[in-house]
Amino acid sequence: MTEKTFSIESYNAVDIYGVNDRNVQLIRERFPLLKFVIRGDLVRVIGEESEIVQFEKKFSLMLMHYDKFGKLTENDVEQIMGQQEDAEYYAVSETSSDILLHGRQGNLIKARTLNQQKLVDSTGKNDLVFAIGPAGTGKTYTAVALAVRALKNKEVKRIILTRPAVEAGENLGFLPGDLKDKLDPYLQPLYDALRDMIPTQKLLSYMEDGTIEIAPIAFMRGRTLDNVFAILDEAQNSTIPQMKMFLTRMGKAAKFIVTGDITQIDLPKNQQSGLVHASRILQDIPGVGFVILDETDIIRHRLVSRILRAYHENREE
């Protein structure tokens, strides 16, 4: 057995241990073979050397995260403890990756997980990137941040955000209001992301003059998108013809990101998802990147990852 002591004397113990030592409990759950003895700002760890080495890496990442963001939530701890691979890459990304944007109210918007950073890196290398993963992994939010950054840096002239309005169909006419009112509920997550990143009046100005356009995928037909950063969100609900139509809109100096969750397809059973099809046939094309996000990237409430895991384990065949 090996024993090692870690000090957090330069930190507020409650910030690191969590309220009612909740963060400590999460660490114990992650390392059940280790014994932890905590006295004030000292953490004594007893167990096999290999386990202690793994704990030291994770604990260092926790402190690094706190140094960078000034806080350490239960979600943060679960996320850091859940990183099974590429811990060194994660550490580097946390210390050296650029801030994507300074959002409203001083919020710093940046990649917060390993796979979100891979999405940032892949977008820098490829003009078309597919980001596939479950709800809450930040794929849409990160994609919108990359688009807004490109606009602010004058790398593109316009942003186009689109998603399929799967449930509209023949029921669209029964919804109240004009066409915009009928479609806005399907596009609301995109508005929410933009509001986090652009001051209200500036966002309204961008939308009025067409610098930022949010529209259902059907509105893309027949267009050539030059100098545009385009995002197709909820792409699992696009059909194969819709996906082909969207991807072939790409003009000069354009960047495209396609996001979706292939476990949440709402299309009729007789229609194949355009995202699933594209993922199969475009894998080996140079200039096309694929980033897979998973439960370790979930940045919503910590229960989301547990809920998704339960559904995955008990899915009906």
Query: Do the domain assignments include residue 75?
Result: yes
Q: Look at the block and give the residue holding tokens 């790398």.
A: 155
Query: Does 97 map to a domain?
Result: no
The structural domain count of the chain equals 2
Give a yes or no: residue 93 inside a domain: no
Tell me, yes or no, whether 118 and 258 share the same domain. Answer: yes
- Closest to 173 measured CA to CA, from 185, 186, 183, 162: 183
- Rounded to an integer, what distance in angstroms lies between the CA atom of residue 254 and that of residue 168? 29
Task: Identify the domain boundary among 21, 53, 88.
Answer: 88
> For the whole prediction, is pTM greater than 0.75?
no
Task: List pLDDT tens digits, range 94-110.
Answer: 443 467 887 776 667 88
Token pair 């027949």 in the structure block, residue? 222
Q: Which residues pair with 162 in a beta bridge?
A: 215, 232
42-47: strand order across its sheet: 2-7, 42-47, 35-39
Residues 66 and 106 reside in one and the same domain: no
Instruction: Note whether 76 and 120 are same-domain residues.
Output: no
Distance CA 252, CA 228 (A): 8
Q: Note the pLDDT of residue 86.
A: 45
Residue 113 belongs to a domain: yes
Sign of CA dihedral 293, 297, 301, 302: positive
Let me know if residue 241 belongs to a domain.
yes
Q: Which domain holds residue 238?
A: 102-313
- Write the pLDDT tens digit of every residue in 127-150: 999 999 998 889 999 999 999 999
> Whose structure tokens read 């529209």?
215
Tell me which residues of the chain have a pLDDT lower than 70: 68-69, 83-98, 105-107, 166-184, 186, 299-302, 304-305, 315-317
- Pairing of the two strands 158-163 and 255-260: unpaired
CATH number at residue 28: 3.30.1370.10
Same domain, 160 and 42: no
Q: Residue 137's domain is classified under what CATH number?
A: 3.40.50.300
Are 80 and 107 in the same domain?
no
For residue 293, count other CB atoms closer than 10 A to its CB: 24
In this structure, is residue 96 part of a structural domain? no
